Amino acid sequence: MKILIDFFPILLFFGAYKFYGIYVGTAVLMAATALQMAIIYAIDRRLQTMHKVTLVLILLFGTLTLVLQDDRFIKWKPTVLYGAMSMALAVALWALKKNFLKMLLGSQLDLPDTVWQRLNVAWIVYCAFMSAINAYVVMNFSTEAWVDFKLWGYVFPLVFLVAQGIYIAPHLKGDEPTT
């Protein structure tokens, strides 16, 4: 169920774009993301910082796209989001000596500090990569190709999350079986 909630805005955007174009697709993305956040809030009774930032950026860049009739704004939103995440995680880790991943997920995952450090660096690199690859597609390909990339490009986060799960699995401190 959670995966459907996570992916339905991009799927609706893709469908609306294919039938009606980038501007209708952008409006659908904005509405679907607002609905997605309402559903998440109804389930969890709170929105995480990442949810709030995503919603604000989609509404901001979407509004600019629609008002100015310029699709560059919505196409650059992922670059800005991922770039900001990469920089925030890097500054927090190396300048402030804070591990935001551990701060956010430490109550849910019991991992050694070295694993948290590696995960944080992996997220910095991943976000920088996603920012760069979106920028590359925006600058070198058509809007049609960018929309296709947005749909099929979801393989990157899926592979990253699976790899992350495989990496942390041996380090999880779970209940020891009783014999």
pLDDT at 178 over 70: no
How sure is the predictor about 80, in pLDDT bands with cuts at 50, 70 and 90? very high
What does the DSSP 8-state code read for residue 141?
S
pLDDT of residue 175 exceeding 60, the answer is no
Pick the more confident residue, 6 or 143: 143
* pTM assigned to the model: 0.86
Q: Are the beta carbons of 85 and 128 closer than 8 angstroms? A: no
Which of the four pLDDT bands, split at 50, 70 and 90, describes residue 67? Answer: very high
Tokens 């893709």 belong to residue: 14
Quick: pLDDT tens for 113-148.
999 999 999 999 999 999 999 999 999 999 999 999
Distance of CA 95 to the CA centre of its chain: 24
pLDDT (average), residues 4-19: 90
Cβ–Cβ < 8 Å for 171, 118? no
**Using 50, 70 and 90 to split pLDDT, how confident is the model at 172?**
confident
For 23-35, the three-class secondary structure string (H helix, E strand, C coil) is HHHHHHHHHHHHH
Tell me the mean pLDDT in the region 18-38: 97
What three-state secondary structure class fits 109?
A: coil
